[in-house]
Amino acid sequence: MGGRVNRPAPGATRRYNPPVAAPAVDPSPDRVVRPPSLPPAVIGDLADMDRLIGQRLRSEVVLVNTVADYIVGAGGKRLRPVMLLLSARALGYGTRPGEREAAHHVLLATVVEFIHTATLLHDDVVDESALRRGRQTANAAFGNAASVLVGDFLYSRAFQMMVEVDRMRVMKILADATNTIAEGEVLQLMNVNDPDVDEERYLQVIRYKTARLFEAAAQLGAVLVDAAPAVEAAAAEFGRRIGTAFQLIDDVLDYSGVTADIGKNVGDDLREGKPTLPLIHVMRHGTGPAREMVREAIREGHTEHFDEILAAIGSTGALDYTRRRAREEVDAGRAALQCFPDGEHRAALIALAEQAVERDR
Which pLDDT does position 262 carry in this prediction?
47
Mean pLDDT on 187-215? 96
Mean pLDDT on 205-233? 97
DSSP one-letter string for 12-59: PPP-----SSPPPPP--S--B-PPSS--HHHHHHHHHHHHHHHHHT--
| Mean predicted lDDT score pLDDT of the chain | 87
Say which residue, 138 or 182, is predicted with more confidence.
182
**Spatial contact of 86 and 222, defined as CB atoms under 8 Å apart:** no
Q: Where are the domains of the chain?
A: 40-358
Phi, psi of 66 (to 5 degrees): -65, -50
CA distance 106 to 85: 7
CATH superfamily of 40-358: Farnesyl Diphosphate Synthase (1.10.600.10)
Which pLDDT does position 127 carry in this prediction?
75
pLDDT tens, position by position, 160-172: 999 999 999 999 9
Least confident of 58-67, 209-218, 256-265, 341-350: 256-265
Least confident of 29-33, 256-260, 324-328, 354-358: 29-33
- Which of 201, 174, 177, 176 lies closest to 189, judged by CA? 201
pTM above 0.85, yes or no: yes
